[in-house]
Structure 1
Amino acid sequence: MFKNFFKSYDFRRGLLLVFTILVCGLTLFILNFPDLIPGMAIGVLLTSICDLQGDFNKRVLAMLFSIVLNVFSFFMINMFLEQPFLLFPYLTITVFMISYIGVFGFRANMLAFSGLMGIVLSMVRKYEGTAIWEYIGLFIGGGLVYMLFSSIFHRLTKKSQVNEKLVALMNYTAEYLTLKFQTYQKGEDLDEERRLSKHQSITDMEEDLRQLLFTNEIFGGSSKTRNRQMLLLVEMIDVAELTSTNLMDIKTLRTKEYWSEDLFQPYLEIMSKQITWLKNLSAALGGANVDIKPPVTVAEIEYINQAIHEFAVFHGISKVREISIPLFNFKNYLIRQQSKLNAVYYLVKNKKSRQLETLAKSYQQKFISGEDYSIRGLKESFKLSSPHLRHSIRLTVSMISGYLIGVLLEVHNPYWIMLTIVVIMRPSYGLTKERSVKRVSGTVVGTLIAAGIVLLTSQIYIHMAVALISMVFGFSLISRNYFWAAVCITLYVIFAFSLILPDQWGVIQYRLIDTVIGGVVSTIVAYTVLPHWEYKTLRNSMIEVLEANQNYISAIIEFYKNPSDDIEYRLNRKKAFTSTAELHASFKRYTQDPKRRQLKRRYYYEWMTINQNILSTLASLGTYIKDHHHADIKESFEITMQNLKLNLNHIEHKFDNPVFKLKADFNVQNCMDDYYNSLTETRDKEISKGQLEIDPKFKHILIESKNIKQEIDLLEELTSKLISTTNQFL
């Protein structure tokens, strides 16, 4: 675990930040300008906040905008710092405007965070005369030096950044497979919470990789390394889709009269080997020296087909059809999964070097979630019902209130309260409360550790070492473990200030007091000032899921008609999976709201679980029809799927019009049943006449019809449940 952390992008980026600050600081110290170090160090720190993975041009522009924004903030605040009647109005307007920039998306949100941090750090001291221009010049210099080092860093680590995320994606997928394996092995119900969590992790990681690989990141053009990584992503997305499919109802099968555990055991052994193999492949991609030879071959999986045939003949084909067909499908699933894992294996072993001719730039751009930077976004969100506007108002109120409280209580450094509020305040009450608890508890632990170190030794070099080490870990852990990040940042701040101020115990005391005040103010304001309750966002996420699933169904219909063109299918599949992951993320935030705001939690969770099963069934159907087009059911298939889509549309309409009477309508469901029943009657007649051998083509048609009918029956059942659940909370 620790070994992986030290090899991670987060840790390396923390090292980059500290290294840049050290280079700037030591250079100024050697040139005998130690008083100028803070300006350059702050320039490095604030610029680094906008150094995000992804599009190179956007990253550079964000860092440049950060420098310009923070220079302007410093100049204006320095002008008003000793004039409170001008300072407070300016702070109110500026904090609101900068925080509102976050409406444009995550990158803009980090730019806003950098700007807010810049406002706070501009209040540390008053500069006069030429010192103002010296600070501005050093701030710009620090930012530009970081941009230079960052560009070099990203060029040198571009391969490892992508590999790290590919390894995580492979591990998440292996863990998802393990959940399913345990379900089949033990016959227990699938842990829905863990399944939803793994699905979200897989989907989020896929999206991160698309942003890294499908944007104009500096990758040296169309290199073999980039192409290989793109291929790995494409293959792993297919592996993840296969993993999410509904394979069989094992609990029902185990109740059948002729069910045999001995017959099923080889399937579990093969599945277990595939899981172990995928874990080894991810370890190998991460640099570990492990054996990654394929533990099983497609031919070996095909061999168990003979066991199914003998089982069916022994008991009577018609008697065990409900068992033999699911086992036959499971065998085909294992073969498809093995084929995909073989492709992953060859890519990990660098045995494939073909260019990604099929992934043209126009194709790649379709799969990138773009950000709209037009003025329209600002206008549309400038209404009181907008979560973005509400968050900006709450953040402004809390920062100004925190500073006023600090001034009135004559706190030593009131801007520290504002700093705490900036890093704690989040768009929803639940996230703000959680972050506040972690920040305050982390600060308490950090101050206790700092007090222990101060009591043990007064050596300045030890204090410097603690400050540097804690700084690296503090910035490395922010996105991984906020509690320990708060501990490390507290240690860094205390010992960094202790190098300047002689009163170390005073620094510890002020740090703790200011953090507690900031945490309390943030939580109170988040609860009382235009609070945002997550159930509203949750319902919007449900509507987006319904729209995405309807588009996914349309794509499946078209894909069944024309399997050679899979672009729209893949694109709508991606949107369906992403919207479901966002729904789960919204539900997790909803569970952090006050209990009195969670009156319909049970129904929301049930709705989300049913939707996940619908998505898994759609994925099963989509993966199955890729290779099966024997049955003459295209017209019946389209009619039935369109009817299913219509029912989902009715559910969506219910959200907009709660008085709408919602009921299931599957008046065309018999068209698939009739076709399959006619096939089984034909086969039963053949068997009764002594014709045990089945025509291979007829066999494919029979199995294909059975499987598609079974998936559609399940979709209709799940949609009926979704309608019933929707009626209970709307």
Structure 2
Amino acid sequence: MNYLDEFKKFISSHYLSTGVRLTLGTIIPSLIFHHYGILSDWIAFPLGTLLIGGTDNPGPYHRRRNALLVAIATCFLVACITGYLRHFHFIIFLEIIVFGMFFSLVGVYGNRVNSIGLISLLVFVFNIDDHLSGDMVFRTAAIFSAGGIWYFILFMVLQKLLPYKLIQQLLGENFVELGKLLSIKADYYFAKPDYDELFNRMVHQQVILRENHENLREILFKTREIVTESTTKSRILMLMFLDSIDLFERILNSQQNYANLHRAFDHTKVLRLFGTYITWLAAEIQQIGLAVQSGYASHPRHDLDEAFNKCQRAFERMREHKMNHDNMEDFIMLRQILNSLQDVTERVKKLHRATKYEADVSKDYKLTVEAEDFTPKQDYHPRILLDNLSLKSSHFRHAVRVTLGLLAGYIASLFFAVGHGYWILLTIAVILKPAFSITKQRNIHRIGGTILGVTVGFLFLYLIDESTPLFILMMVSMILAYSFLKINYFVASTSITLYVILSFHFLNPQHVTAVLQDRVVDTVIGSLIAYIISSYVLPVWEHSQIKQYMKEALDANRKYFDIVAAKFTGKQLDINELKLLRKNAIIAMANLSDNFQKMLSEPKRQQMNMEEYHQFVATSHMLTSYIASLSTYAQTLEYVEFSVEFEMMIRQIDRQLQAATDIIDGKTGNSLEIVRESLPQNQRLVELLADRKKQIKELGIEKADQSPVRKMLSDLKTINGLFELISTISIDEIKILQKIKTAKAA
């Protein structure tokens, strides 16, 4: 992806839409109030628009609507309670304890409720200070709520005018990230690949895609108009999403033994040719993503048919002149890669056509899965909150940290008596997160962004005297702040500081220098408190949770393997259950990878057995990929006559996966014996391979290719190889877990 495409992606993304929506929703009423000379009295209105709008996360229409209404009501109550009692310091301490614990603990109900809790805390922080409302508490709370209602009306209008816009933006982003994943795959085919670096990039990309898939599933499968009352456009959007999931699996299951691949074909140009073509396919997928985001039809950048035919001709020429009975299995592997490229090519061509939203594209559309099974579930029962009132709960420990941080920040604001002491509490509230790694990153970005924002703001005010360019700069910084808030906190923090300083300049230009100083001092104090609290108060280190993520990944992979492998024993394949278990395996793998990435940002003293954990993450990734590859054959082939041989292999692999789970659970089993046992050999396949090699040696490739068993043998060799790879990976995981267990015991 070049810089121009990155810019196009940002311009058409939902992040920029959010930034523009919040900025215009805030600026328009502010300009009206300024025109009538009442802006200082009604300043709570734009603040209400900004804060309530901050709870509007992507999701189904009814959930976004309900969240906004709950946020408006909750913030009104918090503003009234805080405003009327803010002159009593001991009551403020009690409020910090109650609000800090409750609004942090509600994060157990998911990100949407967590956003409402955070915004409610910010409303509490703002209303502690007299700067906002003076003595007119109820009036200010009502004006603040009116600002929230104004955003709610804006949301409803835009939803009616552009009902599919958010889906298109998220779906387009999904294709762009999918293209990036495929471009990483392409790097495996070029000379001297850095396998560790490529693996880490792939893991990071899969975590991004996992989050995007969850958002899209929630919106698409929970929107009645798309699932049951679909139009041509909604059917095509659903079709493209389902195709993107299948394409993701196809990319995932194209995992090969790249070391062997380079050993066999590095001296030829075929791998470089394949790598270049995969790069082209990645660019096409990203082009489709940009088109879906922007709402226009995409057109191929390259002639895909000609490019694929070039790869195929190169393979066939090399096969004709260089394949013999000794390297036949290497060429079978290369043939499978070519088949995968053909499949991806056809999918990309289909997706290009889909961006035109023509009725004939969706005429054969049928939702082949139960939407309810794939929708993220969220239970809002009070017992969930009560069950987390324990130090064993990471949510409860986070709530304690936030509460103690706010108490320390409030005491600091009283002690230092700075002009905008509530900024200390605001900094603590937005920086402290459940994971230490995220808190650490946001802390650095907050301090760096604040200092840079203050510096740039000072330069703007020093160099520019005219109000109009300063106002334009303030609007641009607001848009950037709320566009980058969830993707780059450093840019967001810089932009927030900049627009706050510029807004203070318009409201009270005489005191802007004091504002500059207060902003830096308060942010530094709040950041220091947040760092100390996150490091030493009931921290939840990632290594304490990785065991659970490892077990979930093993269990998910085993269930995924069992349903796929059952097809090779003659059982029928339930596509809905297959896709559900595939989703669970990919989510479990992404969660494990995400947990390990967070461990890398923690203090060195908390990074135990990192090499072994990294190996386990890598093997889990390969295990899911190989099972996904096996599922491709399970969905298209029938080789029931080999069921007895496959069943013996399946039972052995199941024993291996169970042994790995037993080690995590601390059970003493026969894992050492299982590791030593070799996978039962498929004797019938060995005989077929021997016959095939004999035919090639005696008759030559051209005549041997006329044999009816060639295609079957190629498929069976690949399927058998996948079973062997899955078994090898399972044994590797047992050995890794044994090392971790031994290291902990020592």
TM-score (norm. length: structure 2): 0.90
Q: Secondary structure at the match of 1:122?
A: helix
Deviates more, 1:647-656 or 1:606-615: 647-656
- Structure 1, residues 283-337: CA drift from partner, whole Å, max 9, x if none? 44455787417623399649948964x7667667533322332222222222222
- Structure 1, residues 675-721: CA drift from partner, whole Å, max 9, x if none? 21122244456667759446654223322221111111111111111
Alignment of 1:258-657 (within 5 A): 261=268, 267-268=274-275, 270-287=277-294, 291-292=299-300, 295-297=303-305, 301=309, 304=312, 308=316, 318-351=325-358, 352-354=360-362, 358-359=366-367, 363-501=370-508, 502-560=510-568, 561=570, 565-630=574-639, 632-657=641-666
Distance 1:416 1:726, change over 3 A: same
Query: Which residue of the partner structure matches residue 94 of structure 2?
Result: 89
- Structure 1, residues 528-558: CA drift from partner, whole Å, max 9, x if none? 1111111112222111111111111122134
Give the Cα–Cα distance (whole angstroms) in 2 for the partners of residues 291 and 272 of structure 1.
Answer: 17
Q: 2:53 aligns with which of 48, 54, 75?
A: 48
Give the Cα–Cα distance (whole angstroms) in 1 for the partners of residues 461 and 367 of structure 2.
Answer: 59
Give the Cα–Cα distance (whole angstroms) in 1 for the partners of residues 250 and 485 of structure 2.
Answer: 34
Q: 1:663 aligns with which of 665, 668, 672?
A: 672
Q: Secondary structure at the match of 2:304?
A: coil
Deviation at 1:493, TM superposition (A): 1.5
1:175 counterpart = 2:163? no
Query: Which residue of the partner structure matches residue 3 of structure 2?
Result: none
Distance 1:32 1:253, change over 3 A: closer
One-letter amino acid of the counterpart of residue 174, structure 2 = L
Query: Which residue of the partner structure matches residue 709 of structure 1?
Result: 720
CA contact (8 A) 1:46 1:66 kept: no
Distance 1:633 1:305, change over 3 A: farther
Query: Which residue of the partner structure matches residue 744 of structure 2?
Result: none
Query: Which residue of the partner structure matches residue 5 of structure 1?
Result: 10
CA contact (8 A) 1:302 1:331 kept: no
One-letter amino acid of the counterpart of residue 116, structure 1 = L
Deviation at 1:58, TM superposition (A): 1.4
Give the Cα–Cα distance (whole angstroms) in 1 for the partners of residues 166 and 558 of structure 2.
Answer: 35
Alignment size in residue pairs: 727
Distance 1:318 1:41, change over 3 A: same
CA contact (8 A) 2:406 2:428 kept: yes
Distance 1:469 1:266, change over 3 A: closer
Deviation at 1:516, TM superposition (A): 0.4
Q: 1:677 aligns with which of 672, 686, 699?
A: 686
CA contact (8 A) 1:98 1:112 kept: yes
One-letter amino acid of the counterpart of residue 728, structure 1 = K
Give the Cα–Cα distance (whole angstroms) in 2 for the partners of residues 128 and 704 of structure 1.
Answer: 74
Deviation at 1:266, TM superposition (A): 5.7
Q: Provide structure 2 residue ranges, at least 5 long, that are not aligned to the other structure.
A: 1-5, 742-746
Distance 1:566 1:34, change over 3 A: same
Q: Secondary structure at the match of 1:478?
A: coil
Q: 2:236 aligns with which of 228, 235, 238?
A: 228
Distance 1:589 1:276, change over 3 A: closer
Give the Cα–Cα distance (whole angstroms) in 2 for the partners of residues 217 and 113 of structure 1.
Answer: 30
Distance 1:28 1:321, change over 3 A: same
Deviation at 1:247, TM superposition (A): 4.9
Query: Which residue of the partner structure matches residue 698 of structure 1?
Result: 709
- Structure 1, residues 616-653: CA drift from partner, whole Å, max 9, x if none? 11111112332222362234324423432332222222
Give the Cα–Cα distance (whole angstroms) in 1 for the partners of residues 595 and 262 of structure 2.
Answer: 37
One-letter amino acid of the counterpart of residue 713, structure 1 = E
1:76 counterpart = 2:81? yes
Distance 1:263 1:71, change over 3 A: closer
Distance 1:551 1:88, change over 3 A: same
1:723 counterpart = 2:737? no
CA contact (8 A) 1:44 1:142 kept: yes
1:114 counterpart = 2:125? no
Give the Cα–Cα distance (whole angstroms) in 1 for the partners of residues 266 and 414 of structure 2.
Answer: 76
Deviation at 1:410, TM superposition (A): 1.5
Deviation at 1:438, TM superposition (A): 0.7
Distance 1:663 1:56, change over 3 A: farther
Q: Secondary structure at the match of 2:392?
A: coil
Deviation at 1:454, TM superposition (A): 2.5
One-letter amino acid of the counterpart of residue 145, structure 1 = W
Give the Cα–Cα distance (whole angstroms) in 2 for the partners of residues 63 and 259 of structure 1.
Answer: 58
Q: Provide structure 1 residue ranges, at least 5 long, that are not aligned to the other structure.
A: none
Give the Cα–Cα distance (whole angstroms) in 1 for the partners of residues 383 and 585 of structure 2.
Answer: 26
Q: 2:170 aligns with which of 165, 168, 171?
A: 165
Give the Cα–Cα distance (whole angstroms) in 2 for the partners of residues 467 and 98 of structure 1.
Answer: 31
Deviation at 1:412, TM superposition (A): 1.8
Give the Cα–Cα distance (whole angstroms) in 2 for the partners of residues 563 and 126 of structure 1.
Answer: 69
CA contact (8 A) 1:559 1:569 kept: no
Give the Cα–Cα distance (whole angstroms) in 1 for the partners of residues 301 and 452 of structure 2.
Answer: 47
Deviation at 1:346, TM superposition (A): 2.0
Distance 1:307 1:380, change over 3 A: same
Deviation at 1:264, TM superposition (A): 5.7
TM-score (norm. length: structure 1): 0.92
Distance 1:264 1:546, change over 3 A: closer
CA contact (8 A) 1:301 1:335 kept: no
Deviation at 1:341, TM superposition (A): 1.9
Q: Percent identity?
A: 22
One-letter amino acid of the counterpart of residue 574, structure 2 = D
CA contact (8 A) 2:298 2:355 kept: no
CA contact (8 A) 2:656 2:674 kept: yes
One-letter amino acid of the counterpart of residue 249, structure 2 = E
Give the Cα–Cα distance (whole angstroms) in 2 for the partners of residues 334 and 135 of structure 1.
Answer: 62
Aligned residues: CA RMSD: 3.0
Deviation at 1:394, TM superposition (A): 0.2
Q: Secondary structure at the match of 1:373?
A: coil
Give the Cα–Cα distance (whole angstroms) in 1 for the partners of residues 255 and 441 of structure 2.
Answer: 38
Deviation at 1:268, TM superposition (A): 4.8
Deviation at 1:348, TM superposition (A): 2.3
CA contact (8 A) 1:470 1:492 kept: yes
CA contact (8 A) 2:9 2:290 kept: no
- Structure 1, residues 561-586: CA drift from partner, whole Å, max 9, x if none? 45663111111111111111111111
Give the Cα–Cα distance (whole angstroms) in 1 for the partners of residues 670 and 394 of structure 2.
Answer: 30
Deviation at 1:505, TM superposition (A): 0.6
Give the Cα–Cα distance (whole angstroms) in 2 for the partners of residues 488 and 588 of structure 1.
Answer: 28
Distance 1:31 1:221, change over 3 A: farther
